[in-house]
Every structure is written in structure tokens, then in C-alpha cells.
Amino acid sequence: MSPKRSLLALVGVLAVAVSLAGCSLLPGIPAVNASPSTAKPIIGQCWNATTTQAAAWADWQGTAATQCTGSHTLYTYQVGKISGETASSWADSGDSTQLSPEVQTKADDACAISKLLPHLKWNQQLIEQYFFVPTEAQWKSGARWVRCDVGVLATGTTLDNESFTALPSKISSLVSSVSSDPVRYEFCMNSTESVTDVGPLDNPDATLGDCAKDPQWKLATRGNLPESAGAPFPDDATANTESTKICSPAVTGDGEIWLAYLPTTSGWASGDREVDCWVGQKQTSVGQTA
């Protein structure tokens, strides 16, 4: 998650706190028993990895594909192609473990999650997308495929220590669930801190919450600051005015407040204008009303 400034406004009060914070259904198929370092992936394969591993690996460094009827955390929904790349390596010139910006962009484009979940909503952020490129040896031999995987984050863990929940044996069950039970995959947080003291992404002890069980915080809406490219970084007064327009309509009760996460100075310089609006239940801690 890209760093954002947080801007907190109480309902009916102009109170601001600014800080740095940060398709068709695809059936599962039997596992291929080839070495993961040499086998080209196939749509419908299932895999096991932790969230840390999945986020850190540019090329797949885990075990071979597993049976989808058994426990697994990742599912390959697409095997795309990285076109037009003639470089001898996929790695960034400054970090041999990271993809170059060009490869990163093309891989991301090839792995559009809409290929699996065409009705996925922007706030269903428990659904995570990952992709893996060939090994360096395969790349040097001309391989340009990219493996596109999906995983689902488990509630009850912190953002710094996320874990996956097990995927169903048939990916069609996940596809159906995302449409029929969308709240299950929306982004909510719980913490032991009052919503008037700290935001959901600023508290390292806050955990992913179940949006169907009266969470403390819920990602409610989003919008964009109206300033054009090249505009100066907005001061607090301007940020508050514009964020109020975007976020305050998401508040529906007297016991709620809104909080906006805005671009940082570096993000602004790169063209980020997005505002993420969270709605919090005014309480001193989880389970206690103010």
C-alpha cells in the first residue's frame, strides 16, 4: 500500500490531523509435477506460499504446483506474455531481485484481475493479485511468460503480518462468492485505539477486520483531488476542503467520523491525486462505545 498522509475530520467539526502514514470461470486442474524452476505454468494450477513470499518473489521460488483439492493459497488464473522486451534480464539495474519498471508495467497489464473477476470492486481489497516471471535462465533463453495468481487475505492479522486464507478447491466458488457476498472481501480494520486518536493504517497493531461484523473502520469511498499535473502540493486548508467534499458524504450517522488518506509529497510529484476515505465508528476501542 502506497504511503499516504492521513487527514481526520470529526462529523460536524473541522478538525484536521495530518501525518505521514503511510470472464469465464477457470476450473482447477491437476498439479504438474515438474520442477517449478523449469516448467512453464498453466492456467488452473494451485500453489502454496506465504504473503511475504508471494510479495517478495519476482520469479517463483516455491515448491511445485499442488492439487487444487488440497490446501493451497494461490491460484493461477492467467499466463500472459511480456511482449517487446529484449533486455538480457528482467531485473532492475539497481536491484537484481526486483523487476525493471518496464517489465513490471507489462507484467501488471498482462495480469489484469478482471480476467478472473470481472465484477471485482475497488474496495474488495482482501483479494490480492500476484505475478511471477520466468527464472533468469529461462529469460535469457527467450521465455517471456508471466504467471498471474490470486490469493485472499485472512482477517485478524496486521498489515505488517498478513496471511492468506485457504482458497476453495474450485475457483468458480471464489468467483461466485465475490459477486454474491461482496462485503466478505471489502477492506476493514479493527484496533484497540479510539478512532479519534489514530487512523486504521497508522496503528501497527490494527488488524484486518470482517466488514460484516461491525468493524471499527471501513474503507468507504475514494476520489481525486482536482489539481492538475504540475500543481503545487496542497496545504492543509486546501487538503481539508477538498477531502471534505469527497469523504463527508460517506458518513451516515452521528457516531461516525471520516478520515482521508492523501498523497505524500513524493506521491504528489509522481502524479498521485487519489484520496481514500475511511469511516470509523466513534468508540474508545473495539467493543466500547464512546
**pLDDT one-digit tens code per residue, 144-197:** 999 999 999 999 999 999 999 999 999 999 999 999 999 999 999 998 888 888
**What is the per-residue pLDDT for 147?**
97
**What is the per-residue pLDDT for 196?**
87
* pLDDT(3) > 80: no
**pLDDT one-digit tens code per residue, 27-43:** 344 444 444 546 899 99
**What is the per-residue pLDDT for 283?**
66
Taking the C-alpha atoms of residue 242 and residue 246, their distance in angstroms, rounded to an integer, is 7
**Interval 106-123 mean pLDDT:** 94
pLDDT band of 109, cuts 50, 70, 90: very high
**What is the per-residue pLDDT for 192?**
84
Taking the C-alpha atoms of residue 257 and residue 280, their distance in angstroms, rounded to an integer, is 5
* pLDDT(261) > 90: yes
Q: Taking a C-beta distance cutoff of 8 angstroms, is the pair 216, 189 a contact? A: yes
Residue 91: CB atoms within 10 A of its CB come to: 19
**What is the per-residue pLDDT for 38?**
60
**What is the per-residue pLDDT for 270?**
86
Sketch the domain layout of the chain as residue ranges: 4-22+191-289, 46-169
**What is the per-residue pLDDT for 34?**
43
Cα 26-144-150 angle, rounded to 5 deg: 30
* pLDDT(9) > 70: no
**What is the per-residue pLDDT for 19?**
29
Please compute, for residue 136, the number of CA atoms within 13 A of its CA located in the half-sphere on the CB side.
10
Question: 11-20, 114-123, 216-225, 240-249 — which is least confidently predicted?
Answer: 11-20
Taking the C-alpha atoms of residue 252 and residue 258, their distance in angstroms, rounded to an integer, is 10
Strand order in the sheet with 188-190: 18-21, 4-9, 256-263, 274-281, 217-224, 188-190, 207-209
Amino acid found at 250: A
**pLDDT one-digit tens code per residue, 54-82:** 999 999 999 999 999 999 999 999 999 99
**What is the per-residue pLDDT for 31?**
43
Radius of gyration for the chain, computed over Cα atoms and rounded to the nearest angstrom: 21
**Interval 108-133 mean pLDDT:** 95
